[in-house]
Amino acid sequence: MAITGEHEALNAGEIGLSEAGPGDYFALLKPRVMSLVVFTALVGLLIAPGDVHPFIGAVAILCIAVGAGASGALNMWFDADIDAVMSRTASRPIPSGRILPGEALTFGLVLSAFSIFTLGLLVNWLSAGLLAFTIFFYVAIYTMWLKRSTPQNIVIGGAAGALPPMIGWACVTGTVSWESFVLFLMIFLWTPPHFWALALFKQGDYGKAGVPMMPNVAGVESTKRQVFIYAIATALVGVLPYWMGFAGLVYGVLAMGLGLGFVWYAFRVLRMPPEDTSMKAAKSMFGFSLIYLFGLFATLLVDGFIVSIGA
Ligand code: HEM
Ligand SMILES: CC(C)=CCC/C(C)=C/CC/C(C)=C/COP(=O)(O)OP(=O)(O)O
């Protein structure tokens, strides 16, 4: 009985734990951003040549989702100081005190190890190696190093967000190939316009936190020009799957339409008058960037399905 009494006295605070609920841990996984990341991995897996048992396919996607979420938790652990300063991120679980930094670190490391080893043991070690590299790149190279040191942070760091379809592809084929490299390039080139559109209307936040994002360092006009150039490159690379023959005409036509739309939104950002502080064009460019990438990868999937039933 005495033992039970002592146990009751040990509330979460006394043993060095926060009273975080499951929702707080879920928020550490950055679920909204990672849902699109996981979707691109799913498309990579589904359009790759070859067959994979549905159970193994499901395990692969689960591991990629858990690994992506783990990298989000590690990012939030390291970035807690700057997240606390920015209005967009101040209510995240660590800066708001709902989760202790050590808990987020442990959670991220355990989930990373679990996802990498499960993928390696049940699927293949190439995809597990790529997943490990992606987590490392996002957390160590982007978050810990580039984000706070150069305005090219997201250009280089974007490689991490672009790798998931390659991981999905490698889960099925056990290889990396030109086709999966094109999927990588489609996201890699999309990342700067996606992010800089947001950075244009969240400039104040990044300035306050001392993060050298492009609009704060090179200025608004230079950022607008760079958004436009990357949008053109993104639209051109978007039609490569059709030109290279691993996607059909349905994809080719829709990719061209989406690409033109993306360039149009970027053009509106470019033409925004300097005195326009509402940044409406940048806000709609950011929104369209999400529709663009989702639409492009969804089209690849539908097109692959049409080609397979036609064959
Ligand atoms: C280094 C690369 C990237 C950077 C720096 C970046 C940055 C951001 C930021 C700061 C936000 C606002 C997030 C929030 O407050 O919740 C955001 C939103 C979003 N990003 Fe990215 N992103 C990157 C890559 C990606 C990739 C690769 C994807 C998917 C393939 C993606 C998908 C999304 C989605 C779906 C949202 C909207 C989330 C929401 O509605 O809350 N991002 N991104
Ligand atoms: C499979 C796997 C490991 C996938 C990871 C994919 C990946 C690197 C996605 C990056 C997307 C993202 C949330 C960027 C936010 O940048 P930020 O951290 O600067 O944004 P913040 O200010 O919102 O924290």
Task: State ipTM.
Answer: 0.95
| Cα distance between residue 214 and residue 222, in whole Å | 8
pLDDT at 1: 33
Which of 75, 123, 171 has the most ligand 2 atoms within 8 A of CB, as the residue to mutate?
Answer: 75
Q: What is the pTM of this model?
A: 0.93
**Long-range CB contact pairs, 280-284, < 8 A, 24+:** 282/197, 282/198, 282/200, 282/201, 283/197, 283/201
| d(CA 272, ligand 1 centre) in Å | 23
286 C-alpha vs ligand 1 centroid, how far in Å?
A: 9
Span from the CA of 195 to the centroid of ligand 2 (angstroms): 11
DSSP H stretches of helix in the chain = 2-9, 22-28, 31-47, 54-78, 80-85, 101-122, 125-136, 153-162, 164-173, 178-201, 203-209, 214-217, 220-238, 240-243, 249-270, 280-310
Alpha helices by DSSP H, listed for 148-248, are 153-162, 164-173, 178-201, 203-209, 214-217, 220-238, 240-243
Residues of the chain with pLDDT under 70: 1-16, 309-311
- Nearest alpha carbon, ligand 1 atom 34: 33
pLDDT at 4: 41
Ligand 2 and 116: CB distance under 6 A: no
pLDDT value for 310: 63
Cβ(135) to ligand 2 under 6 A?
A: yes
* Average per-residue pLDDT for the chain: 93
